[in-house]
Amino acid sequence: MRRISIFTALCASAICLVLFSIRATTKGLRFCPWPNTLNCRARVIYEAPLLNCDVPKEEIVPDSYVVFLHQGYSLDKHKQAVGVNIDSAIQYIVNETAVHGLYYRAGFDNATLAAVRTDIGVDVVECNRKVHPTVSGDGDL
């Protein structure tokens, strides 16, 4: 009987740990089951995906990114969550519509990019790619 009680207590503890982890992830909180370990202090649960950066370097605009926010998430709330002044880095803003949330193009260094990606309100970040004009069928641009 005592073994069953210990097993039940361990299972309940594991379930609580998993549930807290899920709750922390959805709220953008930092979560560490063992807070006194060095690796745990630096671990962050949420990081927005970084897309379209795996193309040749000639195709990418250096240190330029397009940041897509969740629908209904304001730019002011995003700036507050990032914790770094990004006003001067923002080059272009596309306002939210019924189809998509707000997104913007900005030039970031690596540290600022990392801060932007940890905001739970960011859907995805894309590397800004160069646009190449296409030639029409008659050879004119």
pLDDT, tens digit (0-9, with 9 covering 90-100), for 4-40: 555 554 444 545 444 444 444 444 444 454 444 444 5
Q: How many residues are recorded in the chain?
A: 141
Res 80: pLDDT: 95
Sequential DSSP letters for 22-52: HHHHHTT----SSTTSHHHHH--S----EES
- Report the amino acid identity of residue 89: A
Res 7: pLDDT: 53
Res 114: pLDDT: 95
